[in-house]
Amino acid sequence: MVLAYFSRGFTKIKSGDSLGGFLDFKKGAEKIPPSQQEIYKDIIEESGKEVLRFYDLWKLLFGKN
């Protein structure tokens, strides 16, 4: 398991599941009440992009998920 640093904190990324960290983040985001989801929408989207960028680098360096 890898801890990847993002501007808003750390997230866990599980090896063998290339979108593990992103999916964990999305599950947490789904718990936000609908009335507040719009406030967090940009944070959720930007964090998702950072997770995907991290995986591109990970695959380039190590050739695996």
> What letters, b where the CB count within 10 A reaches 16 and e where it falls short, cover 40-52?
eeeeeeebbebbe
Q: What pLDDT shows up at residue 1?
A: 40
Residue of 39 and 17 predicted with greater confidence: 39
Computed over every residue of the chain, the mean pLDDT equals 55
The neighbour count for residue 33, using CB atoms within 10 Å, is: 6
Beta strand pairing status for 9-13 and 2-6?
antiparallel
Measured CA to CA, the distance from residue 23 to residue 1 in angstroms comes to: 14
What's the confidence (pLDDT) of residue 31?
A: 57
Q: Which residue has the higher pLDDT, 54 or 65?
A: 54
3 state SS for 18-36: CCHHHHHHHHHHHCCCHHH
